[in-house]
Amino acid sequence: MRLRLVRQDTKFDFFSRWKIWLGISAVMVVVAFASFLQQGLNYGIDFRGGTTIRTQAETPIDIGAYRAAMQTLDLGDITISEVFDPSFDENQHVAMVRIQAQDDQEAVTVEVIEAVEAALTEVAPNIQFVSVESVGPKVSGELIQTAAIAVLLAIGAVLIYIWLRFEWQFAVGAVAALVHDVILTIGIFSELQIKFDLAIIAALLTIVGYSLNDTVVVFDRVRENLIKYKKRDLREVLNISINETLSRTFMTSATTLLALIALFVLGGDVIRGFVFAMIWGVIVGTYSSIFVASAILLWLGVKRDWTKPTDTTGNQFANVDA
């Protein structure tokens, strides 16, 4: 007897209040956009500019002690991470200390660097300062522009892919869901003022791929059922399709969240922002695949006179038991 987290014969009506769900999503998007315009994002050193100091010591690195020693300097955003490399010697411990730019200056002043070195020397007397590198505001601005272009190009590529694989109505629904996910993720970072850096851009692109995969699985089954149930209306076909893929969706989302929650709790401060973005993205991505992408498809309608063969439609993983 196999354990099922979701019954195989579920018959939930996901579209009894589909207009309300679309309205809720629209309100959340407006709130996220308004928060972004009102208070912006808490940009990290990658986007704000700053200085990176590479240290090396013979004793193991205590990130907590490093951070505590630098708190009295009042330098704003400080990121400390340990560098691991198989080529390092056994007693070679390397860390990267990133300090945000002070008062829109091109780089951290020599006095500040000396103060940081003095503070870290008290924690690790044998510490060495291997290199000091600075990222100015101009480079940071270029990084913001490049990151925005990367996200927009990813969404544009999705639009073309879905349009070619399905129909334009499917493409509009899928892209609307992706834009919804990206805006809500940026919005939650703006609302909570969580540090926003290049790792979050990587998370956004990962969320786009995750949400797209979930949406395509549902749309594949919708296309198959549109051919199979030619006399049933679109709303009924969408409900059948989502219920048939619900087991796969639940299993994928649940197992992904288990891994992400473990990373969020045990992974430390360095990756916590990235993992938080992924957790939020998995939740809103699963939601949008059903209540945004499919609801927009129901709203736009789709033609029913397809002549494509049915033996290659659908998805082989759609009925995986959870």
Task: Say yes or no to pLDDT of 201 above 90.
Answer: no
Per-chain mean pLDDT for the chain: 81
Strand pairing of 42-43 and 195-196?
parallel
pLDDT at 137: 59
Per-residue pLDDT, 175: 87
Q: Are strands 50-57 and 93-100 parallel, antiparallel or unpaired?
A: antiparallel
Predicted pLDDT at 188: 93
Sign of CA dihedral 152, 188, 250, 14: negative
φ/ψ of 265, rounded to 5, equals -80, -40
* Spatial distance between the Cα atoms of 318 and 245, rounded to a whole number of angstroms: 5
In terms of Cα–Cα distance, which of 144, 162, 164 is closest to 152?
A: 144
User: By mean pLDDT, which of 99-103, 136-140, 245-249 is the weakest?
Assistant: 136-140
pLDDT surpasses 60 at 243: yes
Question: What does the pLDDT average to over 85-110?
Answer: 74
Q: How far apart are CA 321 and CA 7, in angstroms?
A: 9
State pLDDT tens for residues 144-198.
788 788 888 887 887 788 778 778 888 888 889 988 998 999 999 999 888 888 8
Average pLDDT rounded to a whole number, residues 15-34: 90
Residue 6 has a pLDDT of 66
Higher pLDDT, 310 or 258: 258
> Could you give the CA distance from residue 70 to residue 73 in angstroms, rounded to a whole number?
5
Task: Name the amino acid, one letter, at 107.
Answer: A
- Pick the range with the lowest mean pLDDT from 33-37, 122-126, 160-164: 160-164
Residue range 273-280: mean pLDDT, rounded? 92
CA–CA dist 78, 276 (Å, integer): 19
Give CA torsion, residues 224, 225, 227, 230, to 10 deg: -170
Using one digit for the tens of pLDDT, what is the confidence trace for 208-222? 888 888 888 888 898
The count of residues in the chain is 322
Closest to 238 in 3D by CA, of 3, 4, 21, 2: 21
pLDDT at 299 > cutoff 50:
yes
For the chain, which domains are there?
18-42+139-300 (1.20.1640.10), 50-135 (3.30.70.260)
Higher pLDDT, 51 or 108: 51
Using a pLDDT cut of 70, give the percent of the chain over it: 86
Query: Does 136 or 53 have the greater pLDDT score?
Result: 53
